[in-house]
Structure formats: C-alpha cells, structure tokens
Chain A
C-alpha cells in the first residue's frame, strides 16, 4: 500500500513529495528533546486544493497526516508519532493581500512572520504581537497553537486573543471552509464574526487536530511613531508580579507593549525586566514611560541603561548566542495575574535546590490579566538528555498540579501525559468533536488527544 500511496502523492505533488531516507531524517526533530520520529513521506503543498486532495487520499488509505510550519515547536507539536505523511507548509508562503483600509493582512499559513513584517513595514504597518521564535516561525504555526512570545503580548495577548480575523481551513475529510465574515460568499475577511459561533476561535489552539489552516487573515496596525525602551532590575518576584499587574491594569490600554522579566539560575539576586513602550505620538509614549517608571520605582525597581533592551528588540528575529549555554528545553504556560510567585518558588525548590541545575533561567511575561511563566533549560545533547527528561518531568508534574495551563499540549513526549488527568468533561467533548470531524482519525493522531483514547 505504501507504494500505491506514494504514486498517488506524486500525482498530487510531483517533485514536492519525498520518501528518501535523508529527507525524512531532516524532519526527525523539533526544538524539544523529544526523540527522533520519522514520517514515511514529506510533502510540500503549494495550494489549498493540494491539501484538500491530500486529506481525501489519506482518508481513503487511512494514512496519518501530520502538519508543521517552521518546525520549531518545543513541545513535540507535530512529530509524526504514528508515521505517515508529514506536511511541511513552508511552500505555502504567499502574502495574499495587505488591505490598508481594513487593516488586515491575508497570508498563506506557511508565510513567516519575518517575511510578513518586512512587507508591512514597507507600508508603514505592523503586526504588533509577534513571538521571538526566529525567522522560520510561520503565521499558521503560531495560530494553530495560540502562541505568544514576549513581544507585544503585554498589550495584545497571545495570538488569537483578538488579532486573528479569519481563517481558511481544510477539514480532516478534505472540505474547505472559511471563517469570519468570509463565511459569506464574496465577502472579504474584514470581521472575525460571520454566521453563528466564532469558529475562527475553534481552530486557534487546535494544534492541527481539527483541520489544516491554509490561510490566515490578521489584524494589522499602523506602525507606532515613537518607541521607548526601559530596563529595571528588581530583587524579588513579588514586586515584579505587582508591577506586571499594574502595568497591564488599564485593560485594553495597557501601559507597556512588552514586559519581559527573567532571572538566571546562576544569579538568584537579580530579576531583569525588559520593557518596550510605544505611542502614536511622542507625548503618548512619554506619558506611558513616566507612569511605568513611577510604578517600577515604587516597587523597588532600579533603572539601568536601556541599551540591551533596545538591542534585543531590534534583533528580535535573530537573537544572538542563543545556544551559547546549550540547546533548549522549556516548561511553561499560563497562570492568573496574581499567581506568579509560587511558580518561581517551585522552580527554585526543584530545579535549583534539588537538582542543582543552574544552567537555566526563569522568565515570565504578563498578558492581559495573566502571566506566562516558563523555565528555560540549557543542556548538552546527548550527555544530559536523561537528566533533562527527569528534571522537567518532576517540574512539569508540579506546575500542572498547581494549575499552570501548558502553553500547548503536543504529543506523548510533549505535555499530553501531564495534562490529560487534569482535564474534565471538556476533554470528552473535544474527543467527540474530533470523532465527528475526523472519523478516520488521520489528522495529527497522538497529538492533543492520547493515542490510547483516540476516537
């Protein structure tokens, strides 16, 4: 059957399908420490029709299909745990339309944020809630996991909070739907709400299990006229938690655009806070800066030279020396705005005191009425592989028990084993939806929904 599937895939994709061992090997890992996982085929679609045809074929032959954007998930978000066909979306990278009146940008899902930002900049526009995931990170990849990095999140929240206007999605059985206002024939994607419930939200964070997102319409904004950078050092996290809460308190008009706090595992004295502020006029930016400075100073923050902050944000696509201390693993997720400190304490207890793993950092950024804390581990492969699994296993169990919502769930070597016992009837409902939309369970099997319990 594999040969037959190969022939059919060649009919759809021509030279954009491969089953060469070297090609499959090149797609065997994401950023996480998850072990190598090989697909049987990799395909690179260029159109929605090709994806639709692919999913019809996958249903016919009951072959699993996994989907990835830039491949930089750090929670085993797309690794083909059941083999089958891996879809690399990066050839679907067109910018379809930038509408300067609607303030929308419509792109194919494999378009990178880096590419989009360059095009928006030429028009004096910006997408203001991006991640710090490097130049390969795709729009579709971020939306499908409702991702968010420290850049812009303080003001605009995670992707999908409000800035995804509409989607085009190929359902697991091959049908194509459009959400938001474009659910109506011949209506452009100017509004998130179309007919009935908000099905744009339905696919945000679905981790590719409920359909393959092929087009995304995003809300864009005029680029800010004035940007300011601030750098404060604090001595305790209780104050940082308070400062983050106060800066975000004017809900919808948060004082900072970005607030990023971090502490090195080897320096438990200092907490560094990088703050980025903008305004549509100098006066607006100056007013925000003044208020933030007051809040920080009142809570023990000591102002520093802001040059490192500026340098970091200016090189946000190519952060420097990123693997200087080793390759990465992360444990993190969302907690309420007034519940950051316990997660710091547990990091210190488990990672620093119990395991003496100092080659790490604790970071957190607020987004509207929440924090996203995470522990970043730097480790050496392959020597520290076992250690990293052990430390992160203990930490993740504790964090999830404390109520942290992992930033995404992923597969058996991601957060899935930790999350499943914590979910209530919602998980059963999710499984029913999955069964309804994907009766043959061909799309991302083993991701988000446990293999053992798959419909």
Chain B
C-alpha cells in the first residue's frame, strides 16, 4: 500500500477542523522558522491528506519541512482542547515514509552508523561509557537501577556523579550497568527508524530485567521517555519494571525527609521544561518541587512554561541541530532570551537542552547561566560539584 505508515492515520487526519489553535509562532518553533502554515500542524495535516489522495508528491521540500519540525509536541498539546489529534505520531509516520522512499537526509547517516558500531551516537569507545562511575563501586545488580544514557555518560558526566552523591546522602546505592548499559535508541524513534528502535528497546529491557531491577531511575529525560512512553507503545507491552525520572525520585526523597537541602543558594532561577520530560512524559511538578525546597532561591516562571514551554531548539532526537544548525540556534536564542527576562540561571534536567543553551549562550553572549537541576540540588546539599 502506498504510504503504509501514514495511511494508518487516515481517520485521524480527517478529525482536523482547521481551527488553527496550533498555528502560533509563540508555541511552535517550526512555524516560527518556516513562516508559512506548512510549518504548523494544521498545514502538515492538509499536506498529509493530499499525499494520501495522490494530490501531492512526497518531495524533497516535504522532507526538509518535516525535519524542521522539532517534534516538541506543543501542537499536540494545543490540539488536546480541539480535535485531540496525535500530531507527533502523524509527523513521525511521514518521516518513516521518507525513509521508505529513500529520501532520508544523508547528514544523519554518520550518527546512525556510529550508534550501530559503538553503541552511542558520538562514536566514543564503548568501554569508556562507565568511566565516570569508577570511583563509586556501584553494583551491577539491585532493586533500584540507575540508567544514565549516552549523553550523560559521555558528555555531561557531572550529572550522574551529582546524582550518585545525592543518593549517598540518602543512604541509597543504586545498581548501574556500567559499560554494559546500552543506548536507549530514543533518537532512532524520532528519525523514523522504528524497526531499529524496536531492537534497542528489546535489548534495553532484557539487560535491565537481567539486573533484577524492580525500578529504574533515569536522569536523561529522553531515555526516560523512551522506556516509559515510547517502548511500551511500539512493542505493545507493559513495562516489566517501575520507571521514574530522577526528579521524581529526588522530589520523593525530599518529601520523605531523606535528603534536606539546607545550604542557601541565592540565585534568581527559572525552570525550562524539556519537551521529552514535560509534554512527552508529563512530568512538570517534580522539578519544581525540588526548586521550591532549596533555600535562598528566587524561582520565576518564564511566560511559556509547563505544558506550553517553548522548545530549546534541539528537539526530539536532536535532528534539527544536525541538519539545520542555524535554525536550531535561532530557536535556542529565543528561549534563552526569555529565560534572561526573569532569571540569571536557567535550570533544566535534560543534557540536550543544557548543551544547546551553552552553545547558544556562547554564540550570542546571552547572560544567563544554564544549569542542571540535579547539580543545583547537590550544591544545596553541600556537595562540592560543578
């Protein structure tokens, strides 16, 4: 059948009443960049219908258009009050069609190859994955497992270090898979490589089950969303273990009085909801609870927050920064400037968002400091970490 992925959504496509709730440059980074309604969900739905009705060719223009979608989910959130269309799934189906048609962007291939060869998208040695944890002697088996993910293992390893040190304060030693921890494969989902992603999902679940874990804690929200939301769906199974994001786990520890942030931190901060933790996984309160527990902090919300937080410009699967770096930075600049309006420090708990904000800060000289929430909490607990 022509457009085998997209045709599964035919009924869904006709639910759109063209109310244009989603056509809003304040919430949709793609529409903001493209400028025409083809950049917003309403336009893409009309395009998808035309594809199915053979009124439109699947052109290279369309591939570019689809990859300029950050998959941030703001349109889906708006549509919840209208037609309740799962816009993101439709756009993903269109990306899958582009793969079937051989229109996959070549610039994404090196990352894919690295992932296949090295087990991480950076092409870094597999046996260095667990280097950050060498001094902590973490067991490989246990009821509570900490899943770190590629980004934090190789690029932001101060975050897992901070997390482990916080848990030490609560008397908790989690299990950790070390070099055997696989990539979650989250980015493959967003590239539209569903079959590959399924293999990563099965492998990830198998390795975790083998560790005997009853609950798994993720600090990377992309890995968290993959295991909590995406894999049960694509594999059609219920997760065999409990899944928690580190912010949920830590907020619980604070609530139970097992950790007490007592060191005053006199900073004016704002919280940026990562798309994968917020809209994709619906974790909004836990990070804010942690911020509220830290003495001395002035916490100000940006105008766009929570369900309608604006994307950092990296997007799900970090595709746009690879294909359209300038566009990606433009969006990051808008978000960082918004943060600067209300704070000196923008706190988040996503390694992708952090990298993006640091890049944008140095590129445009925006005077606001990106910071990991876990590291901020560690500092409030008197842990010496930067």
Contacts and interface: CB of A to CB of B under 8 A. Distances in A.
Decide whether A and B assemble into one complex.
Answer: yes
A21 interface: yes
Contacts of B20: 70-72, 134-136
Contacts of A380: 14
Contact of A42 (B15, B36, B56, B62): B36
Contacts of A328: 17
Given A21-B57, A320-B81, A26 B14 contact: no
A161 B56 CA distance: 44
Given A22-B65, A322-B81, A29 B14 contact: no
A26 B47 contact: yes
Contacts of B62: 22
A438 interface: no
A26 B65 CA distance: 12
A26 B21 contact: no
A136 B37 CA distance: 12
A381 interface: yes
Nearest to A321: B81
Nearest to B13: A381
A44 B14 contact: no
A252 interface: no
Contact of A135 (B18, B21, B43, B83): B21
Interface string A341-361: 000000000000000000000
A23 B36 CA distance: 7
Interface residues of A, number: 39
Contact of A28 (B15, B21, B36, B46): B46
B23 interface: yes
Given A29-B18, A322-B81, A71 B37 contact: yes
Interface stretch (A12-20, A181-189, A195-203): A12-20
A402 interface: no
A356 to B, nearest CB: 22
B36 A18 contact: yes
Question: Which secondary structure characterizes the binding site on chain B?
Answer: loop
B55 interface: yes
A136 B21 contact: yes
Interface string A300-324: 0000000000000001001111111
Nearest to B66: A22
B44 interface: yes
B334 to A, nearest CB: 16
Contacts of A25: 38, 43, 46-47, 50, 55-56
Given A70-B23, A71-B37, A327 B56 contact: no
A327 B81 contact: no
A88 interface: yes
Interface of B: 14-21, 23-24, 35-38, 40, 42-44, 46-47, 50, 55-57, 59, 61-62, 65, 78, 81-84
Give me the 4 closest cross-chain CB pairs, A-B, nearest first: A26-B43, A136-B20, A327-B17, A26-B38
Given A21-B61, A70-B23, A323-B17, 20 more contacts: A16-B35, A20-B61, A22-B61, A25-B50, A25-B56, A26-B37, A26-B42, A27-B36, A28-B50, A44-B36, A71-B23, A71-B37, A72-B19, A135-B24, A318-B21, A319-B81, A322-B81, A323-B15, A323-B16, A328-B17
